[in-house]
């Protein structure tokens, strides 16, 4: 066993994925099921979850719920762990509500914080209590490469994703001694309903199925960070190390940000 805890495998127990009704979450449920996992899928849309479960009736189970409701998350984890341990949890639910300084909205920011940070915290509480009591398990938080540094139109979104990265890092210090592995998932651009609102070029745009495969591969490797596509995320990290003035100039140039605003 590595210093970061054991790597979860299908025979260790159930997997749980939030934000599972569409996009990366839906694709990840399918990918994990294809790799032999019994997966519980959570989202607000019961209809979409039912369809997902019907595709894999013996391996995917619908557990509808709103991640912003802490009691609902506790009840789902209690339901999951009635018969088997929860071996893998991917807390993936999130929203992207783009806004610029000219139309900054505290309401949009609060909704982003409630789902992206609060929703993860609501799932983390019962997951960590269960896994720590078991002395094993693997929990992964879906952050984003947008959390490396602030990006245009992503004031609230970048803030939440940076917060998730820091949250995972902070928890790792304790979990190292408790047998529980924690990972942070930092995708680049993925073709989803959320990114469909972007009006700028998105380099190395991936399909949800490609992203799900990258995530599942990363979970099987067991590293702390799962970042992809690796060329894009590596370049973004390098740009992020630039001095502030050079960073702002470079990102504006690469995204055509001045042209977008004009």
Residue 244 falls within a domain, yes or no? yes
**Total number of domains constituting the chain:** 1
Write out the H or E segment, with its range, that includes residue 185. strand 180-187
List 16, 157, 189, 232, catalytic entry:
157
Roughly how many angstroms between the first and final C-alpha of the chain, as a whole number?
Answer: 55
| Domain boundaries, position 247 | 10-261
96 part of the active site = no
Q: Report in angstroms the alpha-carbon separations of 163 from 49, 103, 236, 240.
A: 28, 23, 18, 16
Integer Cα distance of 25 and 141 in angstroms: 12
User: CA 11, 14, 20, 25 torsion: positive or negative?
Assistant: negative
Percent of the chain at pLDDT exceeding 70: 91
Owner of token pair 């088997």: 84
Lowest mean pLDDT among 37-41, 71-75, 90-94, 257-261: 257-261
pLDDT at residue number 199: 55
pLDDT at residue number 262: 38
Integer Cα distance of 253 and 53 in angstroms: 45
Integer Cα distance of 76 and 209 in angstroms: 26
Integer Cα distance of 49 and 127 in angstroms: 21
User: CA 62, 66, 67, 72 torsion: positive or negative?
Assistant: negative
Q: What is the CATH number of the domain that holds 87?
A: 3.40.50.720
- Decide: pTM greater than 0.85: yes
pLDDT at residue number 197: 57
Residue 248 falls within a domain, yes or no? yes
Integer Cα distance of 7 and 182 in angstroms: 10
pLDDT band at 259 (very low <50, low <70, confident <90, very high): very low
Helix (H, G, I), strand (E, B) or coil at 113: helix
Residue 4 falls within a domain, yes or no? no
pLDDT at residue number 17: 98
Q: Which of 226, 257, 233 is nearest to 146 (CA)?
A: 233
Residue 3 falls within a domain, yes or no? no
Helix (H, G, I), strand (E, B) or coil at 187: strand
Neighbours of 141 (CB within 10 A): 25
pLDDT band at 56 (very low <50, low <70, confident <90, very high): confident
pLDDT at residue number 222: 87
Integer Cα distance of 105 and 197 in angstroms: 17
The model's pLDDT over 67-84, given as tens digits with 9 standing for 90+, comes to 999 999 999 999 999 999
The model's pLDDT over 189-235, given as tens digits with 9 standing for 90+, comes to 777 666 545 555 655 678 999 999 999 999 999 889 999 998 889 99
pLDDT at residue number 261: 44
């Amino acid at each position: 066993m590595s210093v970061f805890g054991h790597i979860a495998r299908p025979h260790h127990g159930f997997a749980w994925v939030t934000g599972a009704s569409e996009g990366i979450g839906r694709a990840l449920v399918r990918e994990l099921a294809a790799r032999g996992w019994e997966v519980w899928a959570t989202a607000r849309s019961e209809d979409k979850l039912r369809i997902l479960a019907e595709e894999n009736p013996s391996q995917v189970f619908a557990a509808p719920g709103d991640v912003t409701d802490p009691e609902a998350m506790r009840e789902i984890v209690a339901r999951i762990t009635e018969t088997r341990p929860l071996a893998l949890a991917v807390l993936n639910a999130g929203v992207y509500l783009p806004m610029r300084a000219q139309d900054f909205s505290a309401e949009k920011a609060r909704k982003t914080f409630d789902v992206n940070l609060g929703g993860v915290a609501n799932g983390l509480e019962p997951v960590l209590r269960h896994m720590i009591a078991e002395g094993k398990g693997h929990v992964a938080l879906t952050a984003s490469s947008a959390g490396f540094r602030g990006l245009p139109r992503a004031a609230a979104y970048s803030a939440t994703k940076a917060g998730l990265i820091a949250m995972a890092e902070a928890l790792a210090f304790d979990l190292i001694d408790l047998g529980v592995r924690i990972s942070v998932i930092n995708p680049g651009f993925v073709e989803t309903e959320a990114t469909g609102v972007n009006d700028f070029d998105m380099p190395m745009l991936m399909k949800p199925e490609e992203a799900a495969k990258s995530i599942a591969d990363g979970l099987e490797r067991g590293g702390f960070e799962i970042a992809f596509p690796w060329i894009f995320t590596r370049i973004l990290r390098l740009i992020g190390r630039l001095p502030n003035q050079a960073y702002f100039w470079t990102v504006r140039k690469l995204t055509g940000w001045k042209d977008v605003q004009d």
